[in-house]
Amino acid sequence: MRRTAARLADGREIIYFDDTPGAPARVAADTRDLPPAETTSQIRRDPLTGEWVVIAAHRQARTYKPPAGLCPLCPSAPDQPTEVPEPSYDVVVFENRFPSLAQHAVGGFEPGLVPRAPGVGRCEVVCFTDDHNMSFGQLSPARVRTIVDVWADRTAALSALPGVEQVFPFENRGDEIGVTLSHPHGQIYGYPFVTPRTEKMLAVAQAHGGPILGDVLAHEQADGSRIVASSEHWTAYVPAAARWPIEVHLVPHRHVPDLPALTSAERDDFASLYLTVLGKLDGLYDRELPYIAAWHQAPVSVGREFAWLHLEVFSTLRTADKLKYLAGSESGMAVWINDVTPEDQAARLRAAPTRYGG
């Protein structure tokens, strides 16, 4: 894989990751007349829960569902410059033009009942392919392996930035999820704090005396009723206490804290298994499933011995044409109610055809 870094017209970083033999040199310049990148991001701590909330009012102006011919994530054309100056690419990463968090966020810490601080961090966009009409599940295993390497590269890079405490790669897909750009892409957030979900999981693992996900994995492997697919280095299963009507966790068999810690064999194996899982998810209702794919990995500097890397893929779709809405119990009290048993859902996914061949 060849890595080429450059700058966009407003100073944001863009990095090309090429896995195609003979891919052209990435030398195209961004010809757009863009103002310097700036952000008004701020974080405020909720005095009732102790959780940090990001306030990013400048994001109201971000691009919203443009027509395919004006997609900002497609390669540039002579009459249509985009976020990617090149006429083609394999995988590309660039700083988000409308970031929730940024290294140049201004301001200082303000104590008080509701403490405030600048939203220092980093938000990146990861384009998985230059083909606007593709989906992640249609990519080749070789391309997925490249993306795993990109996630690991960016996790290491963002972890080294001042103020970043946790790195979160994720993908949102589908209108029902709220995606505003349909080009196949994901994002990476570098947070200036440890996220509430991760804090809670680390606290549970610490009280357990070690990384509890290892015990959960062993339990799922022994039980077998919720396993969707497995391979030499990974197991995919529906968790016994699944919150979402469709929810699958992909867990490496070895205790690793984050993506950079994966071996070459583990990365290869993940690429194959993940495509199988995505194929079954799309085959369940014979349509592209709306989903969020969220990587859980260790924070930068705390609790790393208790964290166990895993990918959580979940969907709001509870039937082929019905959505699960987060209503009173979920949104008000964070008590989840699932209309589908995890065992039934796992059985349905095991039996589902792989829509793209997997």
CA distance 172 to 312: 12
Using alpha carbons, select from 257, 246, 266, 252 the residue that is nearest to residue 313.
Answer: 246
Beta strands in 21-173 (DSSP E): 42-45, 52-55, 91-95, 116-118, 122-127, 166-173
Annotated binding-site residue? 219: no
Annotated binding-site residue? 249: no
Kindly write down the DSSP assignment for every residue of 96-137, as one continuous string.
-SS-SS-TT-----B-SSS-EEE--SEEEEEE--S-TT--GG
CA distance 116 to 107: 9
Output the CA angle 266-129-149, nearest 5 degrees.
25
Annotated binding-site residue? 183: yes
CA distance 273 to 138: 13
- If you ran DSSP here, which 8-state letter would residue 324 be given? P
Compute and round to an integer the Cα radius of gyration of the chain: 20
Would you call 185 a catalytic residue per the annotation? yes
CB–CB of 69/181 below 8 Å? Answer: no
- Helix axis angle, 342-351 relative to 264-284, nearest 10°? 90
Catalytic residue among 58, 104, 185, 296: 185
Using alpha carbons, select from 158, 150, 48 the residue that is nearest to residue 99.
Answer: 158
CA distance 26 to 44: 40
Q: 120 is written with which tokens?
A: 């220092």
Q: 340 is written with which tokens?
A: 């589908």
**Three-class secondary structure of residue 54 per DSSP:** strand
Q: Binding site for Zn(2+): which residues?
A: 71, 74, 132, 183
Please give the positions annotated as active site: 185
Q: Binding site: which residues?
A: 71, 74, 132, 183
